[in-house]
Amino acid sequence: MLRLAHSFTMDIYMMIRRQKTTIFTDAKENTSVMELKRILEGILKVSPENQKLFKDETEMEDTKTLQDCGLTSSTAQAHKPATLVLCFRQEDGEFEAPEVVPYSTPPELPDVMRPQQETAPAEQIAS
């Protein structure tokens, strides 16, 4: 029974960013970094050997599991996914520097969409 509980792995949720691209995905804690790169290959059509993944500015090794890299069900939840940065190999054989373009700031809400303040009692009497 203890053995069964130990082999049970939880889902983790990740937000993988590269330049202006953001990919939301999930995997099991025991998924290897290489397996995650294969998932990304299916989406981005870039082979795993031409990808590097970083967590907190540290490169993730292909042979390690996501859990080995610090991604667990308590640190990478659906409502608060872990952020990873993806880099591709360039034509010259070198990998690009990690780059993530910040999200744009939404415009202010128009006045008609802002919450209405309660009217003062004097205004209610006047109307």
The domains of the chain, with CATH numbers, are 11-88 (3.10.20.90)
Closest CA to 48 of 87, 100, 97: 87
Q: What is the largest CA-CA distance in the chain?
A: 76
What pLDDT shows up at residue 104? 87
Strands 51-55, 21-28: pairing is unpaired
Q: pTM of the entire structure?
A: 0.76
- 76: burial class by Cβ within 10 Å (0-12, 13-18, 19+)? buried
What pLDDT shows up at residue 58? 96
pLDDT string in tens for the chain (127-residue length): 444 445 577 999 999 999 999 999 999 999 999 999 999 999 999 999 999 999 999 999 999 999 999 999 999 999 999 999 999 999 999 999 999 998 888 888 888 888 876 555 555 555 5
